[in-house]
C-alpha cells in the first residue's frame, strides 16, 4: 500500500534495513519509537492523514435554486437579476408544465374582462353623483379663503390637467416603481426571483405570469417601458376606454408570458424573464393597428419619423427573427405574443368579447337592484 511504503521510508524501515531474524518487525519498531504524546487516538489520526488516507473531494452538485428544476446555467442579459449561479431543472415532461399556465391564462383573462365590465357599470352609476359633488366642491372653493402655495392644491391642479389615459397609467407606473425598489432590498432577492420573474422551469408558474409584468431589475429597462406606456396612454384609453384598457393590459401581460413559456419549452432555452414589455407591445400594436397612418419617432432621434404601420411591421419582423435565432437580450417571444394579441383584439377581440358583456352586466344589475331581501312581518 502507498501509505505503508511512505511510513517505512520515513522511519528508516525500507529494503536497505532488514530486521534480524526473530527481531521486531518494522511496525513494532514504529510503535515503540513513537513519542508518548502521539500515542492513542490522536496518533492514529495523525498517521492516517500523513500516510495518505485523505478524504476524497466532495463532488460539487448543482445548487437547486428557488426558480426550479435542471439544465444549464442561464446566461442572462443586463435587464434581468444576477442569477448566473442559478441552475434550472426542467421537468422530464415539459408539455405538462404548460397545462396550469394555460388554465391560468384563460381564467385570468375572463376574470379581467368581467371585472372591467362591472367596473364600467359602477362608474356609469356614480357619474351623476360625482357631477353634483363637483358642483358642491366648486361652490365651497369659491367661498373658502384660498391658501397661497398650498401643496395639495398644486397636486390637484396637476392631476386634473392630465388626460384620462395618463391618470389611468399613473397607478401602473407607481406599481412598477414600487417593485423596482423591492429589488434593491438584499433580503428579498430570493422572493423576488421566485415570484417576480417568469420561468417555465420554476416551481411557481402562475402568479409570476402577472407579477413579472410589474417587475423591472434595470432602471433603464423600467424607464424605457414606462415612457412608451405614458406616450401611448392617451391614445389607447381614447380607443378602448379606461376599464377596457385595464382588462386588455393585464390580460396582455399574462398572455405574453404564456407565449414565452411555450417558446422556452419548445426550444429548451429556460431562463427567467421580467418586465412590462409584453403588455406594452399589446398597447403599441393596438394603437398602430387602429391608426396605421399616425406618425411616430424615436426618442433620441426625433428628426426621423415613420408611420405607425411600418413601425409595427418592423417590430414584428425583429422579434420573429430574435425568437427563431435565439437572441437572449430580450424575450422576443413575449414581445411577439403581446403584439399579436394587440392586433387580434383591435381587429376581432373587441367585437367578440367587449360587445358581448351585456349578459354579465344584467346579472350584476339584478344582483345590485334586488340585493339581499330583509326579513320582516307583514303590515
Cα 142 to Cα 80, 137, 145, 159: the distances in Å are: 52, 9, 8, 20
Cell of 297: 419617432
Cα 268 to Cα 199, 261, 373: the distances in Å are: 12, 10, 57
Q: How far apart are CA 349 and CA 255, in angstroms?
A: 14
| β-strand pairing of 301-307 with 295-298 | antiparallel
Name which of 288, 212, 205 is nearest 250 in CA terms.
212
Q: Do residues 204 and 67 make contact, with C-beta atoms less than 8 angstroms apart?
A: no
Q: Which residues are catalytic?
A: 277, 335
| 365, HSE (Cβ side, Cα atoms, 13 Å) | 12
Which of the 8 DSSP states describes residue 300? T
Which of the 8 DSSP states describes residue 185? -
Classify residue 37 by burial, with Cβ atoms within 10 Å: 0-12, 13-18, 19+.
exposed
Q: How far apart are CA 132 and CA 172, in angstroms?
A: 29
Classify residue 193 by burial, with Cβ atoms within 10 Å: 0-12, 13-18, 19+.
buried
Cell of 283: 398597447
Q: Do residues 209 and 254 make contact, with C-beta atoms less than 8 angstroms apart?
A: yes
- Give DSSP secondary structure letters for 59-91: PPPPPB-TT-S-SSPP---TTS---TT-B----
Amino acid at each position: 500500500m502507498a501509505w505503508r511504503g511512505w511510513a517505512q521510508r520515513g522511519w528508516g524501515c525500507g529494503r536497505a534495513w532488514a530486521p534480524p531474524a526473530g527481531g521486531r518487525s518494522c511496525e513494532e519498531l514504529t510503535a515503540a519509537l513513537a513519542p508518548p504524546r502521539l500515542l492513542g487516538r490522536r496518533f492514529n489520526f495523525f498517521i492516517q492523514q500523513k500516510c495518505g488516507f485523505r478524504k476524497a473531494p466532495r463532488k460539487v452538485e448543482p445548487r437547486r435554486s428557488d426558480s426550479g428544476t435542471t439544465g444549464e446555467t442561464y446566461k442572462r442579459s443586463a435587464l434581468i437579476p444576477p442569477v448566473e449561479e442559478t441552475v434550472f431543472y426542467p421537468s422530464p415532461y415539459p408539455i405538462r408544465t404548460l397545462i396550469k399556465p394555460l388554465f391560468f391564462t384563460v381564467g385570468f383573462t375572463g376574470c379581467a374582462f368581467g371585472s372591467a365590465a362591472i367596473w364600467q357599470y359602477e362608474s356609469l352609476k356614480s357619474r351623476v353623483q360625482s357631477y353634483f359633488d363637483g358642483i358642491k366642491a366648486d361652490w365651497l372653493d369659491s367661498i373658502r379663503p384660498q391658501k397661497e402655495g398650498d401643496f395639495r392644491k398644486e397636486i390637484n391642479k396637476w392631476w386634473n390637467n392630465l388626460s384620462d389615459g395618463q391618470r389611468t397609467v399613473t397607478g401602473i407606473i407607481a406599481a412598477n416603481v414600487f417593485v423596482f425598489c423591492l429589488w434593491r432590498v438584499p433580503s428579498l432577492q430570493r422572493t423576488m426571483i421566485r415570484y417576480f420573474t417568469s420561468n417555465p422551469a420554476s416551481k411557481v408558474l402562475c402568479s409570476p405570469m402577472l407579477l413579472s409584468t410589474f417587475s423591472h431589475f434595470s432602471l433603464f429597462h423600467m424607464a424605457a417601458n414606462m415612457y412608451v406606456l405614458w406616450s401611448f396612454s392617451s391614445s389607447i384609453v381614447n380607443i378602448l376606454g379606461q376599464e377596457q384598457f385595464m382588462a386588455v393590459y393585464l390580460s396582455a401581460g399574462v398572455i405574453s408570458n404564456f407565449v414565452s413559456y411555450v417558446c422556452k419549452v419548445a426550444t429548451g432555452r429556460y431562463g427567467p424573464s421580467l418586465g412590462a414589455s409584453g403588455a406594452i407591445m399589446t398597447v403599441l400594436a393596438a394603437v398602430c393597428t387602429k391608426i396605421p397612418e399616425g406618425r411616430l419617432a424615436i426618442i433620441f432621434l426625433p428628426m426621423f419619423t415613420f408611420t405607425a404601420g411600418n413601425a409595427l411591421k418592423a417590430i414584428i419582423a425583429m422579434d420573429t427573427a430574435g425568437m427563431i435565432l435565439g437572441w437572449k437580450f430580450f424575450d422576443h417571444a413575449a414581445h411577439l405574443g403581446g403584439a399579436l394579441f394587440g392586433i387580434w383584439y383591435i381587429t376581432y377581440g373587441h367585437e367578440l368579447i367587449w360587445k358581448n358583456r351585456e349578459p354579465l352586466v344584467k346579472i350584476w344589475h339584478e344582483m345590485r337592484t334586488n340585493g339581499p331581501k330583509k326579513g320582516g312581518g307583514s303590515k
